[in-house]
Amino acid sequence: MFLGDYIKRGIHTIQNASVQVKASMAFMAVNFMQKGISFLTAPIFTRLLTTNEYGVITIYSSWLDVIGIFAMFGLYNNVYCRGILEFKEDQKNFTFSLLSLSNIITLLTFAVVWMVNKYLFTFLEVPDTLIFFMFFSFLLEPAFEFWKTDQRFDYKYKLLCVFMLLVMFFSPLLSIAGIFLFPGHKVEARIIGAQVVTLLISLGCYFYETTAARGLPKIKYWKYALSYNIPLIPYFLSSYVLSSSDRLMIGYFWGEDKAGIYGIAYTMSAVANIVWTSINATLVPTIYKRCDDGRRGTLSNLIIPIIAGYGAVCVLIMLLSPEIIRFLAPSSYGEGMYIIPVIVGGVFYMSIFSVFSNLIYYEKKPKYVMGAGVAAAVVNIILNFIFIPLCGYFAAGYTTLAAYLLQVAWSYIAVRKVTGESVYDMKKMSLIGGIVLFMSVFSQFLYPYTWIRWGLLLVIGCLVWKNRKILLEGVFGAKVQVDKE
């Protein structure tokens, strides 16, 4: 069969798909494109900015992540997904209440950060202009996030995809233009240019949410959101520590060059994380709605094929590590290929943690998620202190994988405690997880044998293609017509 026939069949399938399938496919595709554009544009900015300027941007991004945890309080995440189902009759006021609460917390956080940074000790190594811009973004962006979640739950994908595509295309273009127009303020141009379109859309969503509420914020919704999210703040912080502490410790014990090699491997492995983030964005509304409708028993048949397919993607990346590292980095980074499989294995186990934690979030028991995250972060730091100086910087990948395994085990026990059952078919889940774990550790021994690796790649590709209908139905949450050969 010719390629044109496959394309025609694909177009026909999409045209005749249900609105749920179309929405899920659109959300997943655009999210993947938006996440991936940062990788494609990174080489451009490394050539337009000096290392010092790029360093300031890196510092700003790090503080953006950390301060954002407190300033926006994660109110547009799982607590909002749960709340719009629980308060569906008063959804507009619930949204407005959370938006107003987010703004109050943002202003309080700004006052604390500004006073400490200005009058006690300077810890933000960024210009004052960027501090103001950071908190201005914190005020507006939750409105866009709330609106996006509403669109996903209602399967309204067209306008959202248009907005996300606008952000994807114009953010790098405006950043590049700003660097050339304001050569004396390249850092500010890069950061502000990347956010202009997002903030304009967020401003529109802000006015929409505030005018649609038709009433004042309700204190009961503030209490609901705070009681739900306060236990999650340690989890958000521990997730940041879990993803960042490795490179800091490698730099301390083995030098910046080894940290750079590990960082490249980590960045390349993030491709697997982008795939899962895109899939999970389409899964959360489906999981929540099935639980809300009393159909939790159907989740295993939904999730297991998705985990199997995602595991296959992760194994493909592991087997292709030598080619990936040669294509994207010079030979001086070559040894990084041996750490990619272990990091990808950790990313895979994060997907299993996600499907467990989604249930815990729905049941409004976030303290169990917090416990899993904090325990994993603490264990990761302890193991890093022991094994990085003892065994070399490769040990960081294995300690992180061990921490993710602990996180999965903790969250599984939590699901059993919260729901009274496993929910998912744990025999199949354990089999898939065991295969990925085995490949995480031993795939590197196949790197000298190219023909064996490519033979395995062919077999895995054929299995994925043969079961594509099951995988598509799992990801998109509805029947997908796949024409027979």
pLDDT band at 77 (very low <50, low <70, confident <90, very high): confident
Q: Are residues 202 and 85 in the same domain?
A: yes
Q: Are residues 243 and 294 in the same domain?
A: yes
Domain that holds residue 321: 1-15+231-485
In this prediction, residue 261 carries a pLDDT of 76
In this prediction, residue 273 carries a pLDDT of 81
pLDDT band at 482 (very low <50, low <70, confident <90, very high): very low
Q: Are residues 262 and 213 in the same domain?
A: no
Residues 104-141 pLDDT 10s: 999 999 999 999 988 877 777 788 899 999 999 999 99
- The last residue of one of the domains, among 167, 191, 217, is 217
Across residues 323-349, what is the average pLDDT?
A: 83
* C-alpha to C-alpha distance for 149 and 162, rounded to whole angstroms: 15
DSSP labels for 222-261? HHHHHHHHGGGHHHHHHHHHHHHHHHHHHHHHH-HHHHHH
158 within domain boundaries: yes
Residue 184 DSSP code = G
- The last residue of one of the domains, among 183, 217, 251, is 217
* C-alpha to C-alpha distance for 333 and 265, rounded to whole angstroms: 9
Residues 265-315 pLDDT 10s: 777 677 788 788 878 877 888 899 899 888 998 999 889 988 988 998 899
Across residues 356-366, what is the average pLDDT?
A: 92
CA nearest neighbour of 355 among 268, 315, 313, 414: 414
Q: Are residues 378 and 440 in the same domain?
A: yes
Highest mean pLDDT among 150-164, 265-279, 327-341, 428-442 belongs to: 428-442
Assess whether pLDDT exceeds 60 at residue 10. Answer: no
83 within domain boundaries: yes
Q: Are residues 245 and 196 in the same domain?
A: no
In this prediction, residue 328 carries a pLDDT of 63
B/e letters for 285-322, b = 16+ CB within 10 Å, e = fewer, are bbbbebbeeeebeebbebbbbbbbbbbbbbbbbbbbbb
Unique residue bearing structure tokens 């550790």: 441
Q: Are residues 301 and 265 in the same domain?
A: yes
The tokens for 197 are 């379109």
226 within domain boundaries: no
404 within domain boundaries: yes
Percent of the chain past pLDDT 70, that is, above it, reads: 86
Q: Is 447 helix (H, G, I), strand (E, B) or coil?
A: coil
pLDDT band at 1 (very low <50, low <70, confident <90, very high): very low
- The last residue of one of the domains, among 217, 252, 279, is 217
Q: Are residues 458 and 324 in the same domain?
A: yes
Tally the domains of the chain: 2
CA distances from 422 to 25, 98, 193, 346, 455 (A): 29, 33, 47, 22, 36
Residues 410-467 pLDDT 10s: 999 999 999 999 899 999 999 999 999 999 999 988 898 888 888 888 888 887 777 7
* C-alpha to C-alpha distance for 18 and 291, rounded to whole angstroms: 21
Q: Are residues 192 and 265 in the same domain?
A: no
In this prediction, residue 408 carries a pLDDT of 96
Q: Are residues 242 and 177 in the same domain?
A: no
pLDDT band at 477 (very low <50, low <70, confident <90, very high): low
CA nearest neighbour of 205 among 165, 151, 152, 155: 151
Q: Are residues 151 and 212 in the same domain?
A: yes
Q: Are 302 and 286 in contact (CB under 8 A)?
A: yes
Across residues 170-177, what is the average pLDDT?
A: 93
**Dihedral over Cα of 76, 81, 87, 90: its sign:** positive
DSSP labels for 339-387? THHHHHHHHHHHHHHHHHHHHHHHTT-HHHHHHHHHHHHHHHHHHHHHH
Q: Are residues 430 and 340 in the same domain?
A: yes
Q: Are residues 206 and 297 in the same domain?
A: no
391 within domain boundaries: yes
27 within domain boundaries: no
In this prediction, residue 275 carries a pLDDT of 80
